[in-house]
């Protein structure tokens, strides 16, 4: 079964075609160009490079957060439109889970971090045990320094990956049990989103096209300002 993977949760715009046996093609671009400008041409380029028609694609997997609010909306709306037009199932995949899944190293804790604004990060904790991928804690929003302090107290080695600020890198450099994933291996990839989407699909899991939403975890800046100004009062 051929699946299209899409990940636009960060500055990286990534699209991939995969089956359960192989990665057919993948395009990763990390620039300041808006995903809304690049994504559809990137998908068209991917299909052309792989010599694949839309009729051959049997499902779409999309990273649905947490991450950039705008990036998530662009990726999800594109995936929904294509799934509707092509009449194929859609599967939402956690951005943090997909990141951690890239590091199949037993005996370590993998902690993906993504920018959550104001010196906060989205953080997940995962590991591989006996060949099985496990989530150790629910994804959360936490101050970056707190996230590093807490993983520094773990007994196992910890691999950090994702969007790591220079300040966090400097702090992590002084902590013995923390390793930083190399930049080329640390960022999201649609290939991993596709692989996890295929796994869910094979387990009979897919999502409703119309109700699938981004996983934001935190409130948007506009919602925070509204709460400060008006509390819980609804707009009238």
Q: What percent of the chain has pLDDT over 90?
A: 79
pLDDT tens column, 116-141: 988 999 999 999 998 899 999 999 99
Burial profile 49-64: b = 16 or more Cβ within 10 angstroms, e = fewer: ebebeeeebebbbbbb
pLDDT tens column, 168-219: 888 888 899 999 998 888 889 999 999 999 999 999 998 999 999 999 997 6
pLDDT > 90? residue 77? yes
pLDDT > 60? residue 226? no
- What pLDDT was estimated at residue 163? 87
pLDDT tens column, 43-52: 999 999 999 9
Q: Which two tokens stand for residue 71?
A: 């990036």
- The residue ranges of every structural domain in the chain are 2-95+189-226, 103-186
pLDDT > 80? residue 8? yes
pLDDT confidence bin for 221, thresholds 50/70/90: low
- Cβ within 8 Å of residue 90, ≥6 positions away: 59, 60, 61, 62, 79, 80, 83, 206, 207, 209, 212
* Burial class of residue 122, CB neighbours in 10 A (0-12, 13-18, 19+): buried
Tell me which of 3.40.50.10190, 3.30.70.2740, 3.40.50.720, 3.30.420.40 is the CATH number of domain 2-95+189-226: 3.30.420.40
pLDDT > 90? residue 55? yes
Residue located via tokens 């596709």: 194
Average pLDDT of the residues of the chain: 91
- Cβ within 8 Å of residue 25, ≥6 positions away: 16, 17, 46, 49, 50, 52
Q: What is the pTM of this model?
A: 0.91
Nearest alpha-carbon partner for 21 in 236, 202, 215: 202
Average pLDDT of the segment spanning 156-163: 94
- What pLDDT was estimated at residue 232? 61
Please tell me which residue, 99 or 166, carries the higher pLDDT value: 99
Q: Which two tokens stand for residue 234?
A: 């609804």
Q: What is the CATH number of domain 103-186?
A: 3.30.420.40
Cβ atoms of 62 and 92 within 8 Å: the answer is: yes
Q: Which two tokens stand for residue 24?
A: 């057919």
pLDDT > 80? residue 229? no
pLDDT > 70? residue 150? yes
How many other C-beta atoms lie within 10 A of the C-beta of residue 230?
10
pLDDT confidence bin for 32, thresholds 50/70/90: confident
Q: What percent of the chain has pLDDT over 70?
A: 92
How many other C-beta atoms lie within 10 A of the C-beta of residue 109?
23
Q: Which two tokens stand for residue 194?
A: 């596709």
Nearest alpha-carbon partner for 201 in 101, 87, 90: 90
pLDDT > 50? residue 236? no
């Amino acid at each position: 079964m051929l699946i299209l993977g899409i990940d636009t949760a960060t500055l990286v715009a990534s699209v991939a075609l995969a089956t359960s046996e192989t990665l057919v093609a993948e395009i990763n671009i990390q620039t300041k160009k808006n995903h809304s400008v690049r994504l559809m041409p990137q998908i068209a380029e991917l299909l052309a490079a792989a010599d694949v028609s839309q009729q051959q694609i049997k499902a779409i997997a999309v990273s649905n957060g947490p991450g950039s609010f705008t990036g998530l909306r662009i990726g999800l709306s594109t995936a929904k439109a294509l799934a509707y037009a092509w009449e194929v199932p859609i599967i939402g995949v956690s951005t943090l889970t997909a990141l951690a899944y890239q590091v199949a190293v037993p005996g370590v804790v993998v902690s993906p971090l993504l920018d959550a604004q104001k010196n906060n990060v989205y953080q997940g904790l995962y590991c591989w045990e006996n060949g099985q991928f496990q989530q150790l804690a629910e994804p959360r929003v936490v101050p970056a320094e707190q996230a590093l302090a807490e993983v520094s107290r773990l007994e196992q080695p910890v691999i950090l990956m994702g969007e790591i600020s220079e300040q966090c890198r400097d702090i992590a450099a002084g902590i013995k049990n923390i390793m930083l994933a190399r930049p080329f291996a640390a960022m999201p990839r649609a290939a991993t989103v596709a692989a996890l989407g295929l796994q869910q699909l094979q387990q009979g899991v897919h999502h409703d096209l119309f109700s699938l939403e981004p996983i934001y975890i935190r409130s948007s800046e506009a919602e925070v300002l509204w709460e400060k100004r008006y509390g819980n009062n609804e707009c009238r």
